[in-house]
Amino acid sequence: MADITLPSSLLQPRDENEADTLLSVLGRIHDERGHFRHITEQGLQAEIAANENEEESSDTDEDEDSAEVDGAEGKDRREQLWTARAEMRQHVDSARNEALIALDFVSLLLSKDAPKQAELTMSPHLKQFIKPGTLAMDVWHNVQPDKEQQKLDDTIARSWRMQSLQASADSLLGAATRLEKNVRRETHYWEQVLSVSDKGWSISRLPRERHNLGVRFGFLEALGEFRDRGLAALRSDEDGNVLLDKGMGNNSKVLRVRIQKGDTIIGVSQMPDTSADSESALEARIRHARDSLYEEELFHEIIRESRSLASYGVDMRESIIRLPTRLSPTASLSASETHEVLIDLLPLTDIETKPREKQSEDAWAQAIALALRLFLSYTHRERLVRRSELPQPMSSAKRDTPVASIMRPVLTLLQHRTVLADISTYLQRIHKTLDAASVEASIETAPFDPALLRSAETIDALMQRGLTPIHSRLKVSLKVPHLSEALEFGIEVRTSISPPAFGSAMLVTSPIGLSRVEIPDIQELQDYLNTAIANALGQGIINKLTGWTLNDRCGVLGKANSNDKIGIEVHAGEDSAHDGLILRTPKDRFEWKAQDEMKQNGFWETVKQEVWNGA
């Protein structure tokens, strides 16, 4: 049998740490050749013969390359030897170091019991840093387990585990309770926020607190300080109730308008009834905050405007703005008859809850308060229109905020109403005087009441009535004998406190004398009408007289080439006690008082008996 060589797999390079064990050799043979039952002697001999032929054919080629390879292999071999030598020395040094450390440890451990012997084997480095006898050892014998103690320890451990589990359960229950409370609070909070949003209030994030919500109840066209105050944060308390930021809605204020005659208040505007609120607490507070902010801005604008209306008698004393009802004082009026409009701002808490008796001027006080609020709303609209227009060119000059016209229309209405009331009172006294003298007369007045303000369909129409001159017409008709038509005196009242006219002017149309006369003062109007009515009566007398003439300036009839005169005087307007009609004839004097009962003949009967028949 030929020699059997090992498989080629045994000649392949392998790891230096791998040992040439029989198991490893058998494993490599199995991996290369398969199972041993497939290996036969004939197959191995054929393989050996084939390998020998290949070696003979390759010897010639290998001899040529061997010279070149020997030089390179020798150099690589030397490098491998030096590397192996360095690694070997490194391992030897490491082993030596570990042995010395172990020796120091054992020596230090024995230095407690045998210090002299231990110091002989201790290294100088160890002696320098660690004192001998520092480390020692002791032998403990195994203790037999105590079953009672072990049982007690198990019981204690079990109790600790139960206590820990109970604490964990309590913590979970507490967390669940807190979560439930937070969910309930958040639900309650969002229900209130949604309720406020459904009522039309604007809900948005706060500009400087993006994580908080706020409600806008102010007006974007208000002045800067009031516009900024129109946004309040909706914060939540411990129970989930929504609270307005900075306590808004608690200290609400309201504008109050009062009408004073002398020292007596004869009219007060309506105050809000806070006890009848049907809204929720949050919605009521938002509404109160909005109303209070609007009222405060209105009062602020009124104060600004009052500085420019000082020439009309508007002043401010003790935080109360005082508006005169007439722009020109009347000498005949005493201090107790002077009317003033008082405007102030007071907290809702100062409003009396007791029902108050209605007064004669309550309707006018309420109309003035309503007009002031509407005029502020109109001012907001004007600012919006100006803001919507193209901006003016940029300039370094500071632009002043224009003063709103809020009290100016109110002053116009008050002045016009006062003048109409004075003229109507005068005409009624004239009518009473003529009626006492049995002179047929009629008057038509033009009452000015708050219903005229409510008749305006839009706020623009209302503002036009206040900012443009107001016109009213009155009429006096006088029936004179021998004339087919009654003599009519028309009075057109025009009121305006804007340039070029300031105050009220009366345009009188007369059938006698000048057809149209403009009179600027109520006292002059009374004097003019007294003379005009006297002239009208004189016109009725002179129709049946021959040679008589009428002086239309003083109501005196004179006869040509004679000193006889007939005078007619009408007294009304200054003092009701002196109201009357006087007829002076060449022979006698007759007087009819408005306050006296009729005990004598009438004016025309007296004229017939004393003037016409005597002539």
| Chain centre distance of CA 602 | 72
What pLDDT was estimated at residue 302? 92
Comparing C-alpha atoms, which of 484, 480, 467, 476 is closest to residue 426? Answer: 476
Q: Which of 112-126, 408-422, 460-474 shows the lowest per-residue confidence on average (mean pLDDT)?
A: 460-474
pLDDT band at 7 (very low <50, low <70, confident <90, very high): very low
* Per-residue three-class SS string for 81-129: HHHHHHHHHHHHHHHHHHHHHHHHHHHHHHCCCCHHHHHHHCCHHHHHH
CA angle 90, 95, 98 (to 5 degrees): 125
Instruction: Give the pLDDT confidence of 546-558 residue by residue, as tens digits.
Output: 777 777 677 777 7
pLDDT above 60 for 62: no
Whether residue 220 contacts residue 304, with contact meaning beta carbons closer than 8 Å, is answered with no
What pLDDT was estimated at residue 18? 47
State how far the alpha carbon of 198 is from the alpha carbons of 183, 195, 276, 282, 565, in Å.
22, 5, 21, 13, 85
Comparing C-alpha atoms, which of 35, 15, 39 is closest to residue 27? Answer: 35
Comparing C-alpha atoms, which of 317, 231, 248 is closest to residue 285? Answer: 248
Q: Is the dihedral of CA 73, 75, 76, 80 positive or negative?
A: positive
Bridge partners for 560 per DSSP = none
What pLDDT was estimated at residue 324? 87
Block residue for tokens 């059997």: 4
Q: Is the dihedral of CA 369, 374, 379, 383 positive or negative?
A: positive
3-state SS assignment for residue 363:
helix
Q: For 384-406, what is the mean pLDDT?
A: 80
pLDDT above 90 for 61: no
The residue ranges of every structural domain in the chain are 1-54, 84-135, 202-271+279-350+359-384, 407-612
What pLDDT was estimated at residue 231? 86
Give the residue with greater pLDDT, 178 vs 460: 178
Comparing C-alpha atoms, which of 550, 253, 602 is closest to residue 435? Answer: 602
Comparing C-alpha atoms, which of 132, 134, 135, 109 is closest to residue 119? Answer: 132
Which of 94-103, 279-288, 454-463, 528-537 has the largest mean confidence? 94-103
Block residue for tokens 């919605």: 283
HSE toward the beta carbon, residue 226, CA cutoff 13 A: 20
Instruction: Give the pLDDT confidence of 558-572 residue by residue, as tens digits.
Output: 777 777 788 888 888
Q: Is the dihedral of CA 251, 257, 259, 260 positive or negative?
A: positive
Phi, psi of 304 (to 5 degrees): -60, -40
What pLDDT was estimated at residue 256? 92
Give the residue with greater pLDDT, 171 vs 218: 171
Comparing C-alpha atoms, which of 199, 204, 198 is closest to residue 216? Answer: 204
pLDDT band at 235 (very low <50, low <70, confident <90, very high): confident
Residue 198 neighbours by CB distance under 10 Å: 8
pLDDT band at 184 (very low <50, low <70, confident <90, very high): very high
Angle between helix axes 281-308 and 147-198 (nearest 10 degrees) is 50
What pLDDT was estimated at residue 466? 64
Query: What's the distance, Cα to Cα, between the start and end of the chain in Å?
Result: 198
Q: Which of 219-223, 336-340, 457-461, 541-545 shows the lowest per-residue confidence on average (mean pLDDT)?
A: 457-461
CA distance 343 to 320: 6
pLDDT band at 277 (very low <50, low <70, confident <90, very high): low
Give the residue with greater pLDDT, 428 vs 44: 428
3-state SS assignment for residue 547:
coil
pLDDT band at 162 (very low <50, low <70, confident <90, very high): very high
Q: Which of 28-32, 194-198, 395-399, 412-416 shows the lowest per-residue confidence on average (mean pLDDT)?
A: 28-32
Which of 381-385, 408-412, 488-492, 590-594 has the largest mean confidence? 488-492
pLDDT above 70 for 4: no
Q: Is the dihedral of CA 331, 337, 343, 346 positive or negative?
A: positive
The residue count of the chain comes to 615
* Close Cβ partners of 136 (under 8 Å, ≥ 6 residues apart): 109, 112, 113
pLDDT above 60 for 330: no
What pLDDT was estimated at residue 222? 85
Instruction: Give the pLDDT confidence of 511-542 residue by residue, as tens digits.
Output: 876 678 888 888 888 888 888 888 888 888 88
What pLDDT was estimated at residue 12? 46
What pLDDT was estimated at residue 500? 63
What pLDDT was estimated at residue 173? 95
What pLDDT was estimated at residue 445? 82
HSE toward the beta carbon, residue 340, CA cutoff 13 A: 21
What pLDDT was estimated at residue 415? 85
pLDDT band at 333 (very low <50, low <70, confident <90, very high): low
Q: For 276-295, what is the mean pLDDT?
A: 80
CA distance 445 to 474: 5
What pLDDT was estimated at residue 342? 93
Q: Which of 143-157, 353-367, 418-432 shows the lowest per-residue confidence on average (mean pLDDT)?
A: 353-367
| Widest Cα–Cα separation across the chain | 199
What pLDDT was estimated at residue 534? 86
The amino acid present at 30, given as its one-letter code, is H
Q: Where are the alpha helices (DSSP H) in 326-484?
A: 362-388, 407-436, 451-454, 459-467
Q: Cis ω on the peptide bond leading into residue 324 (within 30° of 0)?
A: no
Comparing C-alpha atoms, which of 36, 45, 10, 34 is closest to residue 24? Answer: 10
| Chain centre distance of CA 208 | 14
Which of 170-174, 192-196, 404-408 has the largest mean confidence? 170-174
Residue 164 neighbours by CB distance under 10 Å: 10
Q: Which of 171-180, 352-361, 490-499 shows the lowest per-residue confidence on average (mean pLDDT)?
A: 352-361
Residue 46 neighbours by CB distance under 10 Å: 11
Q: For 343-368, what is the mean pLDDT?
A: 84
Whether residue 423 contacts residue 443, with contact meaning beta carbons closer than 8 Å, is answered with no
Instruction: Tell the burial category of 470 from Cβ atoms under 10 Å away from its Cβ (0-12, 13-18, 19+).
Output: buried
Q: Which of 52-61, 226-235, 237-246, 540-549 shows the lowest per-residue confidence on average (mean pLDDT)?
A: 52-61
Comparing C-alpha atoms, which of 267, 248, 253 is closest to residue 344? Answer: 253
CA distance 275 to 499: 47
pLDDT band at 2 (very low <50, low <70, confident <90, very high): very low
Instruction: Give the pLDDT confidence of 298-318 residue by residue, as tens digits.
Output: 999 999 988 888 888 888 888
Comparing C-alpha atoms, which of 267, 261, 266 is closest to residue 334? Answer: 261
Q: For 577-589, what is the mean pLDDT?
A: 81
Comparing C-alpha atoms, which of 467, 464, 526 is closest to residue 491? Answer: 526
